[in-house]
Each structure stands twice: as structure tokens, then as C-alpha cells.
Structure 1
Amino acid sequence: MARKIDSELTEEQIVAKLVKYDAYPTAHQLAGGAERGLAWLITLCGFIGLWSSLSLIIAEKEKLTNPQAILLCDVNPLVGCGEWIGAWQNEVFFGISNSVLGLAFFAGIAALGLGLLARAQYARWLWQLLSVALGGGIVWVMWFMYESLAVEGKLCPYCMVTWVVTILLFVHVTARSAQAGHYGQGAQDFGRSYVRNRWIVIITAYAAVIVLIVTTFWNLLSVLVS
């Protein structure tokens, strides 16, 4: 029987907590799996992204069917998706709507997450491919954010939802992939530090986005809230 250190924890439990704090990967992670929290996060983000993409597809269909329609996503002069429908920024790749591509992308993310919840173990190349795909997603977020803030002066609410989940996914997946050695053993020490500080990275990114939005639209925000 494990020797009691105090009335609450055994020696083995304390060791396990220290290992978790130091962010050492488990055998399951090293084999290509994911810890439970990451599996849930990937799954939930995938389904949230699916909902956002599907909602935008429905809005596009409604607007194209009735150009005079007042869309649910058209909240005020600053926040709305109606003006993006038919815009070139919404059909960058082969004339296909971003929402359709997003639907396919987040369906894949949700499927991967469900597999991880079922204790699946993926090959290293799949984790690397996922990281590259999410890196591309971050580039898209930055580009569309620039178009929204600096060019069009309009925020698409469904797009902003995808911004939030893409940032969350990118940081968590790259941190856990580095921790588990999917980028090579040399990246594991960095990965452990990255995992311990991943929420700081995420909060900093979200704060930067909020500051950009507020400073860009300060005059309009002042009018809307007055």
C-alpha cells in the first residue's frame, strides 16, 4: 500500500502531480495519443467551427435568395456578415466560399477530436500535418482580420468565432505536439515550457485582437454604446 505523505495525498499521487506540473508527456502522448483535456478541446472547437461555418452558409443562401433579407448576423453597422457575401475576400480559393472550406476543415478537426476521445493514437506525420494546417489557418485569420479592420471596416461575427477557435487550436496542438516529440526530440524541452505557458500565449493573442478592434473602431464604438 502506498505510504501516506499526509491525510490527503499518497507519495505516488504527489509524484504524478509533479510530473504533470513539469509537463512531461505520458506514454499515450508519445505514442500519438492526446491527454483527455486536449481531446475534448479539439472536439469542441471542431463542432463550434462547424456551427459557425454552417450558420454562414445558411446566411449566404438566404442573402443570395433574397438580397433585401435582414440577416440574423447583421447586428449593427460594425458587426454583420451580409456585406461579406459575394465579396472577393469570401471566395479567395477557386471561387469557393470560405464557409464551405471552413465546414470541411472543421469537420476534419471534429473527427480527429472524436478519435482522440476514443483513445486513438495518430502517426507523427498526422500531428505535423495538423500543425501545418492550423498554421495556415492562423495566416488566414491574420489576413482576414486585416481585411476586416483596415480595408472593409466591418466585422463578420461568424468569422470571429472561427478566429477564436483557430487560435485556441493552434496553440494547444502545437504545444502538445512539441511536448510529445512530434517535431523531434530536440523540441521536447521547448514543448514542455510551451505547454506550461500556453494559456498565457492564448490570452495575450486574444488581448491583442481586442486591442486592435477597439483602437480601430474606437469612434464607431463610442457612437454605438452612447
Structure 2
Amino acid sequence: MSEQRTRPVFYAVWLIIAGVVGWWAAFQLTLDKFIQLANPDADLSCNVSVMIQCGKNLGSWQGEVFGFPNPIIGLAGWMAPIVVGVAVLAGARFPRWFWATFGAGILFAFGLVCWLIAQSLYAPNLGVLCPWCMLTWAVTIPTFFATVVHLFRNGTLSRSEKVQERAGRLMAWVPLATILAYAVVILLAQLRGLDLLGEVVGMIF
């Protein structure tokens, strides 16, 4: 078995990078939430325009879907990829149940991100894109793809050596899959923007 399969260096490095970026985005959102709580009319640094802002998201029920501000999930959750990435680089070997649990956490994050994307684009009370949220989306999507492939590669999701070998080769396609996912989100945002523009024009005329 190759060194790359026994010690996935590139995957571990990505986990650290994604964790740091995701944690930073969550930290910035948390700061903005504090400012918003202190002064609801404050001009947040993330409020770039009518369509690009985080104030509307932070003040919505979707921004507290579990009863507390969503950024708190990010502050806690993004520590896991950082710790796992550092541990793997240090030579740690985790049992199958650990990787399964980690994968379940990444799956939850991906599902939450997909739901938040849909809410940001289509919920009547939102219709805006949050800069820090988009940064979180940008690292969550490839982390999910890479983790699924890795869980097949390291034997967590399949005992078949043939499947593990194919998954090892599939890891090289994660960047392309990520770009395609970004393209889908951008396309949906553009189409939604055209719909909103059409509604505005219809109200005027």
C-alpha cells in the first residue's frame, strides 16, 4: 500500500486550510452578530450592497435555525477538520468508527450549507447573498467531496481493495467536481437575480 494511501498528506493539508478559512468566516459572522445585537441599525462590514450582505441573514430565523446563531456552529465545527488534519500529518491513525463519525459531521455541514444556499436564493424573507456565508460554502463543498472520496479510499465506506484503489484515483477529480458545483450555485444565483429583476420591472410597469 502506498504512502499516500496510508498517510493522505494532501487531504490533511486541505482539511487544515478549509478549517482555518471556515473558522475565520464563522468568527467574522459572530462579530457582526454581536454588533447587530448591540445596534440593529449598524452598518455591518459585510453589507456590500442590497444583494450582497449578511445583516439580513443574521437577523432571520434561518440564521438561528437551531435556536442560536449559526456562526456558533462554525466556530465549534471547523475546529474538527483542523484537528484531524494536523493529527493525520503527525502520523495519527484513526479507527473506522472515527472516520465514519467525522464523515457524518462533514455530511451534516454539507447538507446545512445546501439548505442555506437554497434559503438565501429563494426564501421570500431573504433573497440576498452573504459574503462570509459564501466563503463558508466555498470550503465546505470541496471538503465534502474530498472526504467522501477519502472514506472510500481508506476503507471506511468499502472493504473492497478495488474500490479503494479507484477512489484513490478519483481524488484527482475533486477540484473539477468543486468547480462544477460552484458553477451550479452561480447559475442559480444568476437565474434568481433575473427573476427578481423581472418582478421589479413588472411592478413598475
**Fold conserved between structures, TM > 0.5:** yes
| Aligned-partner SS, 1:121 | coil
Q: Distance in 2 between matches of 1:113 and 1:160?
A: 23
Q: Share of identical aligned residues, percent?
A: 31
Residue 136 of structure 2 corresponds to residue 176 of structure 1: no
2:5, 2:168 within 8 Å by CA — same for their partners in 1?
A: no
| Aligned-partner SS, 2:41 | coil
After superposition, what is the alpha-carbon deviation per residue over 1:15-51, rounded to whole angstroms, capped at 9, x for unaligned?
A: xxxxxxxxxx635634xx422x111110010010110
Residue 8 of structure 2 corresponds to residue 34 of structure 1: yes
Correspondence for 2:136 among 154, 157, 162: 162
RMSD between superposed Cα atoms in Å = 2.1
Matched positions, count: 195
Correspondence for 2:98 among 120, 126, 141: 126
- TM-score w.r.t. structure 2 length? 0.87
| Aligned-partner SS, 1:103 | helix
Kindly provide the amino acid, as one letter, of the partner of residue 205 in structure 1: A
1:22-171 alignment to 2 at 5 Å? 26-27=2-3, 29-30=5-6, 33-35=7-9, 37-93=10-66, 95-151=67-123, 152-171=126-145
Q: Which residue of 2 aligns with 1:215?
A: 191
Could you list the runs of 5+ residues in structure 1 that have no partner in the other structure?
1-24, 222-226
Deviation beyond 3 Å, 4+ runs, structure 1: 27-30, 218-221
Q: Distance in 2 between matches of 1:220 and 1:72?
A: 25
Q: Distance in 1 between matches of 2:134 and 2:71?
A: 12
Could you list the runs of 5+ residues in structure 2 that have no partner in the other structure?
198-205
Displacement of 1:192 in angstroms is 3.2
